A and B are shown apart, each in its own frame.
Chain A
């Protein structure tokens, strides 16, 4: 499910997509992505994907609807913090909160918005939900599969950059 939290940004303008969970190292990455969006004259599209799969192994009373609602609100708050920072720099920002599988949500958002580039943050912790390999592989495959430019950022620096093929047919992930 995709719930845009702001409809203010124009749908006609292309966007740079930055999925984030609001981790402690994300601010420098956010600043870098915002700077690129400003340079390119694009809007920034922030994405938060909540996933309740961590509850699968646990024994305890769980109402999934309640947990999803709480995580949605958490995601909206995290994105609002990021959005406020970017808007202070004069950038138009839109944010989207989804829940489910990260990859599928990413694909859905890329397809539903005019996304030209995706910035993926490299995980800062060993205990993070994704690995550096996963992020690199994803960044490598996105241009071929969805026709978007992709970047990997780490501590505010672009460490990987992939361009979409010029004339090839674009497949599906």
Chain B
């Protein structure tokens, strides 16, 4: 008995790994939801499907059946998520029948059944009106939502308010207009709270939250700093080689974790290394942040925009890896050549090195502080990656393996849970939620629909033009507009173009959106959060990055990488 217990105790360290494995198998097995059949309905059934002028289903439209000279509706229902609706008439319609469809932001429809349709309904008991397109209507609410959306983007871009506060202010203003619409002037109605909630993509929220916990554990190990120091040692003081290695490291780290955290931790140690070898730290750090923004494109979890795109368009970890990585690698090579040329004067400036005391200090600052934590978190991280890949085969969303991995880390490492929960950046999650609702509001009033149609008309049947819009159009906008709200707003446009442009159902436009949003972020200091955090840290070392200084190197790099990304997408999806 005691021996058995002893053996069990010996096995204790591998229990969390077994739990992780079991959890992965269970999630991989998936849960099959049985489709519930429609209950039998007695009476006369009229059905149909409501779509907008882009063929997208219209939900929550009020559909009613009316008879002439009868004040009260015979039956009333609401359209479902797929736009379908069904009216059940308890009695035989006499003397004619009209179906009335009403929905905010659409022109009301009144369809009068002719005598043959009515006879069909009475004889068979059912009649389908088929697909019913509804026309958009520009209301005062449309203009209010549009102005609020532009104001939110401007507040974020100009840093007048914290992004989260700006998004919250936006959705609050939208609700105020909606309530005013309900109470005083229906034309002002934008979107109600319940409907706004349906626009929140919870898969994104949970994936971001779980990855924050995992990253919080990994970042405390000192692995970033250690890796940067190894790069310094490997380069043997050759600055041009050092910048190439550091660009590679930040690109890979950004693809696996996220570019914001990568730059937050890589910038201070890179600054010290640059000072140690006697070059301008910005010649080392700006290329790093540029590589970080592009490297993140390779994977589902590399950038917040990829998480958004992946969850929205059902693009998995492997899909991103296979379809983006070659383009990203090519873009990184071109970028590396450009920065080597741009900072060529710096590579000649390097000094003879630092004193042994300073070298020692640098080495101490770059030590792995918790090797055991690093080993365990590395193992769990690997399991999460495997979970992403296996999960795709069984339609398990990436948030699930990420959540399981985060939980396993909490169980295995037993960190201070309060500390770990505070490691979750709730302002980011609230920002995402509020942003989803604001973008949902402009979708609801039809703004995104009008933009999609205008782009659709310009693009016509050309897939190449559609990719140009997504890569270069989004890329240029992303230079000045924060890429998260931009990508969130452009997703419905990509949906529309993917349906209407021949050949776009390969999801190429979502990959193009991912490239445009992330590579465009390199164009200016305000283009990506990683740029701003890097600038914030360099300013702490008396080396602020001015807007113009960043633009000088960032804009050409943006253009070059967008061209490379565009060519790659053409090769991958159109040849």
Contact = CB atoms under 8 A, between A and B. Distances in A.
A90 interface: no
Interface string A102-141: 0000000000000000000000011111000000000000
B540 A21 contact: yes
B358 interface: yes
A76 B269 CA distance: 12
A130 to B, nearest CB: 10
A60 B280 contact: no
A73 B268 CA distance: 8
Given A23-B541, A84-B358, A125-B544, A74 B268 contact: yes
A101 interface: no
Given A58-B529, A59-B164, A66-B219, A127 B546 contact: yes
Interface stretch (B42-50, B236-244, B420-428, B515-523): B420-428
B540 A74 contact: yes
Question: Binding site of B, secondary structure by majority: helix, strand, loop or mixed?
Answer: helix
Contact of B362 (A51, A54, A57, A77): A77
Contacts, number: 127
Interface in A19-55: 20-24, 26, 50-51, 54-55
Contacts of A81: 275, 354, 358
A74 B365 CA distance: 9
A63 interface: yes
B120 interface: no
B205 interface: no
Given A23-B541, A127-B544, A63 B216 contact: yes
Count class of interface residues, chain B: 35 or more
B533 interface: yes
A157 interface: no
B275 A58 contact: no
Contacts of A22: 275, 541-542
A58 B261 CA distance: 12
Contacts of B529: 58-60
B444 interface: no
A57 B264 contact: no
A70 B265 contact: yes
Interface in B261-305: 261, 264-265, 268-269, 271-272, 275, 280
B162 A56 contact: yes
B363 to A, nearest CB: 11
16 contacts: A21-B540, A22-B275, A24-B543, A57-B162, A57-B532, A58-B529, A59-B425, A59-B529, A66-B264, A66-B265, A70-B264, A74-B540, A74-B541, A125-B546, A127-B547, A128-B542
Given A54-B539, A59-B431, A84-B355, 5 more contacts: A73-B272, A77-B361, A125-B544, A126-B546, A127-B544
